[in-house]
Structure 1
């Protein structure tokens, strides 16, 4: 069974802190997941990473029940590399249902999922699976929290070079509001400590940028050359990319690290490595 809900205790310096608990992280080796694991451990929590390397297959459910024994909160930051509606829905539908079923069997108290700003307004491609994920979680039997965020700074690196036409890199016309992955991870651990909250305030980066400009800055930071062409995608999804649907509403919380600062770190690391 899951551990009892966390209680506030006073530390020697008089601050309120949270009793350590056990947190399982699905997708704990990914861009956000590894930060969640590190931050939760730094705060004194026991962390269980749900991954194939640990004998867990999230898409089939194999090994989940054994790993969730004694877990109080599951943080789901899984992702899949696809832009196909059906493949995304298949992945997130299976992973979410397997997690919820295992959580019920093991008495997990809290299911916390990382979602994407605008997934309900543009449920196409990858976002189709995230929309289904939210539906399953909010209608499911386990008390839940959903945190929506904008794309991470790393999204520019993922897009760069994905589609090429000879020496030209093709980038979709898109307005983004990138947020630092580590800031997302901190918020997720905060929410894991608080307990189920339902839909919470969205988290976004501090500035809106054109994706083509972000990709050009990233390419320059890693020393790559070559033209980068911005191309509008057709249909409703292409419109959503261009019109700001995937950026945050005014009520969202904003992170502090800018994309320029993130790119600057890459540039400095490259210079130090070269030196």
Structure 2
């Protein structure tokens, strides 16, 4: 038996060209409809018209990152997004575990229940929560008047609305990670005397961390940039960064400041994504060094 000959440079080049041609439409769409507009907005944010002469300045960004008003809104946005991500993770993990261990028709039914909210518009679901949280809604109607929760226009309403909207993405991310877990590992752990809790702690949880990471990134990034749900459920008293972008661009027609707020929000979201990636890489490195 002869050893397989290495791939020739010509074949390798043809394969790379094929991959590039397959990716070319996606790259073109990304550059035309995302990179170019974002670059144009960035340039306009740095411009300031003074006495008819345009010069470049970081004044808009300095105003955003040094103003206590914007800092309060930024911290509120991060807090609401983080809490929504944590609640979604705590609710999604048991559902993902049930889907993983189930081998009956209930598994498909559970997946259908999880993804069914995605078939309905975000606006429709948010208005549904407004009806539930309203003073005459389902929750307060079941409670005595002095114990009414009055959840509408509160941060709790925002968190619950965000969790309901983005929970399917968390469940699907965890499910995709758990499906790669070989159940023979659990059998081996059980044969060595590991309890159910220890099997979960030492086998299931570590191997499902990529799904936890991807789910948290999707939910957090989506919650950070959510507009309709925080605005409708939180009201003007609980403004988020997305609402400030809308206010600066649409209501005040201050495009440069609105663009600066948008880029600050983008930087905050990308920082979290980078942090989660580094966190997982550090964990993988520690596992490799053991």
Tell which structure's C-alpha radius of gyration is larger.
2
Structure with greater strand share of residues: 1
Greater relative CO, 1 or 2 (CA 8 Å, sep 6+)? 2
Question: Where on the TM-score scale, by shorter chain, does this alignment land: which range?
Answer: under 0.3
Q: Normalization by structure 2: what TM-score?
A: 0.23
Higher helix fraction: Structure 1 or Structure 2?
Answer: 2
TM-score w.r.t. length of structure 1:
0.24
